[in-house]
A and B are shown apart, each in its own frame.
Chain A
């Protein structure tokens, strides 16, 4: 019981980046335990996925042919059966939206503890030491747990595994209990379309919950007009219905890479940062000098947006 089992993540025919990051995280952990790294690819074009997952450090890839897209029942049953067969010390799953939809069920069925959204992992062979954030990234913590265990890995924390490995690629014959599949996926829909594409903009004036009221958006629009820029936002602004979904930057919105991104009253939660960290120059206007957005900002003003934004607009009129 020293092996590590990682399960790849894919959607609509594409392996998602976190799959390669899981391989890196899994290899590091397997070095700690002295075991092998197994990777499972479940559903879809598994042979193609298996070739892609055969990167340096992978000892075995298990392919499971069953359906096309993610189905949490299939993923849960398969991961549990693989774990029963391989007896891994650690099961590593992605902390993606699909990971959230089956990792806790895998842990529950294996009757082992789960630690989620980890940004670092280490094992002394018995105890797993996981690093994770709390309070929206304001603090980092370490938590310790015994083995075996399930951990879900935050995206973009580990580098993607590279090179070509010499893993064995084997078919795993899964025995799916179809009567137990109580959720049916009927399709997908793109919801962030419409009149503007914020990912085309060179300059984004992006507003967050610090704006407080819908009426106050006026000062943001004035600034965007003065700068000939496009307005975007964090999630709460869209949740409140103040701006349409196509303006949302982040994990569940758009990924943007403008020349200049001005974050106004945005704290910089990980799901927001996922959508804008590739911007060329990031400016933050925030009253809180400890807001996580400061970690990725190039320039910052620690001041009230209701003072700074009008003053800035004036400079361009």
Chain B
């Protein structure tokens, strides 16, 4: 069985930042592997270690800069990586769900995985939609917000739990091939070992452009255009206590006593 894991390099933002035009200024941005995708990679690697999966392949849509982040997944046990990028994607303000679906579908059609694992959402633009959209586009079954997967995958069925609101889980059987969007907490993602990091440098990282995937330039025009970005107007009337720790802790203690706490 082959598992494809979609992994995204997300932008992280410092506490204090400035917006320039319709983006956060570069100097306040960092990069990381999307938290949800880290759990998806771990789940795939555990399936391989359990002898259920033979191969774990990652796929990323992103420019060359993100290769260091992709290698993190290889260091944790993925076998090889695919990175999709093209000049035609450069300069777009937003890669919408439709564009990502178009590109990832082409990869799924090439690779024909039995199982695709994505994150529930990406930490930066948080569409929470790419996995299910991809599933429908390639004609796979799916389940969104999965926080448990039975590892036997017997008879071509994945038994999963979907985490609903309010501490309720739904028990669902999904026919393979399928896309599962993975929720945090499903496992304990490992840290890459030094050996893993060394090995990752030698693993295959294949770069594909639109031509290689057989996708038309017209198909990667984002239907969504980002037109404004601003800091949300605060409706808050928060009282901020200033001063040294003794002073602020004293004020909070006084408030708590006034509210009848610990009396």
Binding site for B on A (CB under 8 A): 11, 72, 76, 95-98, 100-105, 107-109, 113-117, 129, 133-146, 149, 152, 182-193, 203, 226-229, 235-236, 238-241, 245-246, 248, 251-255, 259-260, 281, 283-284, 287-292, 294-303, 307-308, 311-312, 314-316
Contact A145 B223 (CB under 8 A): yes
Chain B residue nearest in CB terms to A139: B229
Is B108 at the interface (CB under 8 A from chain A)? no
Contact A183 B245 (CB under 8 A): no
Q: Which residues of A contact B166 (CB under 8 A)?
A: 192, 251-255
Is B167 at the interface (CB under 8 A from chain A)? yes
Known: A138-B13, A316-B262. A253 touches B137 (CB 8 A): no
Q: Which residues of A contact B240 (CB under 8 A)?
A: 289, 299-302
Is B248 at the interface (CB under 8 A from chain A)? yes
B247 to chain A, nearest CB (A): 9
Is B77 at the interface (CB under 8 A from chain A)? no
Chain B residue nearest in CB terms to A106: B136
Is B16 at the interface (CB under 8 A from chain A)? yes
The answer, among B125, B162, B163, B181, for a CB contact under 8 Å with A134, is B125
Known: A145-B225, A253-B166. 8 other contacts (CB 8 A): A105-B135, A136-B123, A184-B172, A252-B166, A254-B167, A289-B240, A297-B238, A316-B253
Contact A188 B232 (CB under 8 A): no
Known: A105-B132, A116-B129, A295-B236. A188 touches B223 (CB 8 A): no
Interface 1/0 per residue, B96-115 and A, CB below 8 Å: 11100100000000000000
Contact B167 A252 (CB under 8 A): yes
Is B55 at the interface (CB under 8 A from chain A)? no
Is B50 at the interface (CB under 8 A from chain A)? no
The answer, among A129, A290, A307, A308, for a CB contact under 8 Å with B15, is A290
Contact B253 A315 (CB under 8 A): yes
The answer, among A100, A297, A315, for a CB contact under 8 Å with B236, is A297
Is B155 at the interface (CB under 8 A from chain A)? no
Contact B24 A101 (CB under 8 A): no
Chain A residue nearest in CB terms to B130: A104
Mark the stretch among B142-150, B196-204, B206-214 that contacts chain A: B142-150
Chain A residue nearest in CB terms to B262: A227
Q: Which residues of B contact A287 (CB under 8 A)?
A: 15
Please measure, in the bound complex, the distance between the C-alpha atom of A100 and the C-alpha atom of B164, giving whole angstroms. 11
Contact B128 A117 (CB under 8 A): yes
Contact A303 B248 (CB under 8 A): yes
Q: Which residues of B contact A134 (CB under 8 A)?
A: 124-126, 229
Q: Which residues of B contact A191 (CB under 8 A)?
A: 167-169
Please measure, in the bound complex, the distance between the C-alpha atom of A114 and the C-alpha atom of B185, giving whole angstroms. 28
Contact B238 A300 (CB under 8 A): yes
Is B256 at the interface (CB under 8 A from chain A)? yes
B67 to chain A, nearest CB (A): 23
Known: A105-B133, A142-B228, A294-B234. A260 touches B261 (CB 8 A): yes
Known: A252-B163, A311-B245. A140 touches B13 (CB 8 A): no
Contact B232 A108 (CB under 8 A): no
